[in-house]
Amino acid sequence: MSTANPRPTLLLGSVAGVAAASVYSLLCLYRAISAPASPNAPKNIPSPRTALLPSLSEEEIQSLPYPPDVFPGARDVDTPYGSIRAYEWGPEDGRKVLLVHGISTPCISLAGVAEKLVEQGCRVMLFDLFGRGYSSCPATLPHDIRLYTTQIFLVLASSPLSWTGSASTSTKTDRFTLVGYSLGGCISLNFTATFPHLVSDLVLIAPAGLIRDKHVAWQSRLLYSRYGGLVPESWVSYIVARRLRAGPTGATAVSPHKKSASSSSPSSTLLPTDATIAPITAEVANTTPSSTIHPSSASHSAPPSGSSFDNAILFPNRPKVSVAATVSWQLKHHPGFLPAFISCIRYCPIYRQEQVWKTIGSRLDTIRRAEGKAGPVEREGAGHTSERKWSLESRVLVIAGKTDSIIVPEELRDDAGEAIGKQNLDFITVEAGHEAPITRSGEIVDAMRSTWEKGLG
C-alpha cells in the first residue's frame, strides 16, 4: 500500500485548472472587446461635409481651420466607398499635375505647391485621401495601396478633362505629373509602378516606403499589429487619439536615432515617438505662435533656428487655416480620421518598398538602353544644367529636407539609389524638415520647373 501524499498532485491539478480558467476568461474578454463590427454598422463613415457643415452658419464655416471653399474648383465625388473631396483648377491646356498628400493632413498641406504650379500655367488637382478632410472613410476595408489606387482613378475619372491616355497612342501632354508627399509618396510610387503609361513624370517629396526597420519601436509593432492584435482595438484607438491630441508638446517629432523623452502617461509608454507616429508630428511639427510664415515668403529663406511650422499660414488671406489646427479639427469632427490613420499604419506601403523602386528602375533601364541615355544627377537646390532628356521613362525626381529626422535624407538617397539605380534618380535637398512642401513650396516648384525647362521632365 502506497504511503505517498496525494496533496501535491491535487494542488498541481487545482493550479492548472485555475490557470486554464483564467486564460479562457481572458480570451472571452478579448473576443468581446475586439469583436468585429456589427453587420449593421455603416460601411462608410461620413465626413464633416455631411456630419458638421449643415449645422453651421456661413460665418462659422468660413472660420473653420479647413473651409470647404479653400481652393477653387471644389467638387464632391460620390463613389461606392463614400464621398471624395477634390479640387481642380488652372488653365485647361496647362501641364496636368496631380498631388497626393500625407498621412495626417488633408490636401491643404500642399496648398503652396499647388498655387505656385498654377502660377506657372499648370492644371492642378488635389483631393483628400479617404478619412481625411472632407472625404468619407470606408469602414470595412483596409486602407492599403489597393484602396488608394482606386481612389486616384475615381478622382481622375471625375474630371471634365481627360487625365489618362492610351498606352499606345497618348503623348506626354496627354498624361500627368504625379507628386506625392510622405505617405502620398509611397502611394504615388506604387501607382506609377503599376500604371507607368499614365504618368509623364514622378516627383516624390520626403516619401515614405524606405523607412528603415531600426526606426520602428517594438511597442508600435505590437500596437499596430495587423494579425489579430494583442491589444484590443478600443485601446489602440484610445492610445493613438491621446497621442495625437497631445499636440506639439506631447507629440514633438524627435530624431529616430534617439528615444523620446520619458513620460508617465500611458500613451507615451505604449506609443513612443518613432517612425510610425512621427510622420504626424513631422507634418505638423512644433513651433511657437509667432512662426506664421507663409510658404511663398519662406521659399528662399532659412527657417528660424529651433522652430518648425505647424502654425505656418497656408493662405495669406485666411490666417486661421493651418495644418496643426486642421489635424485637431479632424480628430474632433471627422469620426473616420482615427480609423483611417491607424489602418494606414497597418496596411499602407510605408516600409520595405525596395522591390517597387526596383520595378521602376528596371523599366527605366530598359528604356534608357533603347534610347542610349545614361548617368545620374544629384544636386542641391533648384539650379543645375543637364543635357539629358526626360520622360517618365527616364528618371524620378526626389526632394528631401536636410533636417528631416523621419525620412532621413542620407538614408533615402542611399536606399533609393540602390533600389532604383542611381542613374534613374534625380535627388535634391532643401533647407527644411519633413514639412518641406509647407515651408519650401517655392523651392520645390522651382526644382520641378527647372526639371521641365532643362528637358528632364
| pLDDT tens digits, one per residue of 321-332 | 777 788 889 999
The average confidence (pLDDT) of the chain is 77
The C-alpha atoms of residue 106 and residue 283 are separated, in whole angstroms, by: 11
pLDDT at 253: 27
Q: Which residue has the higher pLDDT, 457 or 453?
A: 453
Q: Packing angle between helix 354-371 and helix 183-194, nearest 10 degrees?
A: 50
Confidence of residue 3 (pLDDT cuts 50, 70, 90): low
Cβ 276 vs Cβ 224: under 8 Å: yes
| Structural element, H or E, at residue 76 | strand 74-79
**Which residues face 45 on adjacent strands?**
137
pLDDT at 225: 82
pLDDT at 23: 42
Residue 411: what residue type? E
pLDDT at 374: 52
Task: For residue 100, give every residue at least 6 positions away whose Cβ sits within 8 Å of its Cβ, in sequence order, or none.
Answer: 127, 129, 152, 178, 179, 180, 181, 184, 185, 187, 188
Confidence of residue 230 (pLDDT cuts 50, 70, 90): confident
| Cα 205 from chain centroid (whole Å) | 10
pLDDT surpasses 50 at 357: yes
CB atoms within 10 A of CB 28: 10
- Phi, psi of 78, rounded to the nearest 5 degrees: -80, 130
Q: What is the mean pLDDT of residues 300-311?
A: 40
Greatest mean pLDDT among 87-101, 220-234, 251-265 lies in: 87-101
pLDDT surpasses 70 at 455: no
Alpha-helix residue ranges (DSSP H) falling in 34-144: 48-51, 58-62, 111-119
> Residue 162's closest CA among 84, 99, 92?
92
pLDDT surpasses 90 at 259: no
pLDDT at 26: 44
Q: What is the mean pLDDT of residues 203-219?
A: 90
Cβ 109 vs Cβ 438: under 8 Å: yes
pTM of the model: 0.79
Q: Which grid coordinates are listed for 263?
A: 513620460
Question: What is the full DSSP assignment across 326-345?
Answer: HHHHHHHH-TTHHHHHHHHH
Residue 44: what residue type? N
| Cα 56 from chain centroid (whole Å) | 29
Q: Which grid coordinates are listed for 272?
A: 513612443
Q: Can you list the domains of the chain with their CATH numbers?
A: 47-169+178-214+349-372+391-454 (3.40.50.1820)
Confidence of residue 368 (pLDDT cuts 50, 70, 90): confident
pLDDT at 205: 98
